[in-house]
Amino acid sequence: MKILMVASESSPLAKTGGLADVVYALSKELAILGEEVSVVMPFYGNIKRSPDQEIRFVANVQVPLGWRFQNAKVYKTFIDGITFYLLENEYYFGREGFYGYDDDTERFAFFSVAVRNMMQALKIKPDVVHVHDYHGGMVPALIKIQNSRTKFFNKMKFVVTIHNPAFQGEFHPDLLPDFYDIRKEYFDDGTLRYRDKVNALKAAIVFADKINTVSPTHAEELLTPEGSKGLDGILKLRKNDFSGILNGIDYDEFNPQTDKHLPFRYGKTRPGIKTKNKLELFKELGIKGDVDTPLFSMVSRLTWQKGIDLVLPAIVEVLEKGGNVVVVGSGEHGYEQALEELRARYPDRMAIYIGYNNPLAHRVYAASDFFFMPSLFEPCGIGQMIAQRYGTLPIVRTTGGLKDTVIGYDGTNEDVADGFVFDNYDEYWMKLTTNYALEQYKNQKVFKKLRRNAMEKNNDWSEAGKKYLALYKSIVK
Ligand code: GLC
């Protein structure tokens, strides 16, 4: 089967969050299963052309957006059995960052129209076009409205995966004819409308053949107004075509036995080596705490979604009780500052790294005892699964994929538990759970058992790969 992933980011070329990991790892898994997979994404200005990675120019494709005559230079490269198509346009994508610009609506309209025009121009005819999040959300609508009668497009099927319902790609209805050449009636009759805007994610939900999200629990949450950020109504109408498939993590990249970023590698049988990694990390980051005292960490985008409001008081709790803390991430300025203030108060036992640093993140996962991830909402979450594989016990709130991947210790279930959980988004519960984790650290027998359970858990992509393939097969005749 031929599958084309449409995404705004994919590892190893461009990443700001979990979306990039998932697009890449899922594509790799499908390629291993023998499918023909390609990914199409923007060629951002900061994608590096490394000498050992040949990126070849293949064609110039015209992309008129209303009166704006644009074109996309299509580049192609192969990585791990996946074909990547990179769409270059200096005006839209030749910038430092990926998102957050005033003209994002226009940039991703360009991307969506370019994806369709590229398929036509280069005769790329996938059986399934798999759209991720809102960025290419208009692609199914575009093709079904404008091209479905042509032989080239009429059998094509569409899947949309919702990774994050907090971003829906809303825009003014006048832009529908202007950018997409789609008649305003599609807004007026409600098809593409949510409140008073066109909504690209809703468009994908309406026009895709199958819709899914990245964990079973989040699939349930998406059927409620809070969980779906308002898209529950339309998802309920598509309920029969909607499901949750739990993400995995990339077992090649995240493997403490082979991880080239670690000073000391280790596996399930010798998790004690984590202490050596802790010592090295303490040296690297200037932490003066004793290596026998616990290390709590967080590797995350520092945004409201991630529960930083709860982590801040929990950090104080840990530091007051003699533990150590490392935070790696970047995001909202207020959070960065709050963390910096805490670090200044406890300079010997807390370190922060503001920014994205993948090798350091690996070392932090390996060196830590506990991992904070008390998200407000979390469609799947990847950090908690990486932590488990590295023998670091996650402390999570039971939301979305966190609920589906962490079994909380309750004082009796040490045969199965592999982390700590609480339900309410509330400082009280966060502190209580953090203190409970600290207690178990003193009770090394339980702590080691939980750590072993975490390391033995299987979160690779094999299950999810099969489920996606089954989903595709259910629509491709
Ligand atoms: C988004 C979600 C996160 C999920 C990731 C990959 O970043 O917020 O929960 O793990 O997408 O699906």
pLDDT tens digits for range 323-373: 999 999 999 999 999 999 999 999 999 999 999 899 999 999 999 999 999
CATH class of segment(s) 271-456: alpha beta
Query: What pLDDT sits at residue 89?
Result: 98
Fold matches, 2-248+462-473 and 271-456: yes
What is the distance in A from the centroid of ligand 1 to the CA of 295?
25
Query: What pLDDT sits at residue 374?
Result: 98
For residue 408, give the DSSP letter. Answer: B
- Nearest atom in ligand 1 to 163's CA: 11
Q: Which phi-psi region, left, alpha or beta, contains residue 229 (left: φ > 0; alpha: ψ -120 to 50)? A: left
State yes or no: pLDDT of 53 exceeds 90. Answer: no
Cis peptide bond upstream of 313, omega within 30:
no
- 82, β-bridge pairs: 79
State yes or no: pLDDT of 49 exceeds 80. Answer: no
Q: Containing H/E element for 265?
A: none
- Count of other CB atoms within 10 angstroms of residue 431: 17
- 301, β-bridge pairs: 330
CB of 382 within 6 A of ligand 1: the answer is yes
Q: Containing H/E element for 122?
A: helix 104-122
CB of 164 within 6 A of ligand 1: the answer is yes
One-letter amino acid for residue 190 of the chain:
G
Question: What is residue 233's three-state secondary structure?
Answer: helix
Confidence class of residue 50 from pLDDT cuts 50, 70 and 90? confident
Q: What pLDDT, in 10s, does the model give residues 290-318?
A: 999 999 999 999 999 999 999 999 999 99
Contact 441, 450 (CB under 8 A): no
The CATH number corresponding to 2-248+462-473 among 1.10.3720.10, 3.40.50.2000, 3.40.50.300, 3.90.1150.10 equals: 3.40.50.2000
Phi, psi of 372 (to 5 degrees): -80, 130
CB of 394 within 6 A of ligand 1: the answer is no
Confidence class of residue 48 from pLDDT cuts 50, 70 and 90? confident
Q: What pLDDT, in 10s, does the model give residues 424-452?
A: 999 999 999 999 999 999 999 999 999 99
State yes or no: pLDDT of 86 exceeds 80. Answer: yes
Domain ranges of the chain: 2-248+462-473, 271-456
What is the distance in A from the centroid of ligand 1 to the CA of 400?
10
Distances (CA, A) of 200 to 57, 126, 388, 473: 30, 22, 35, 25
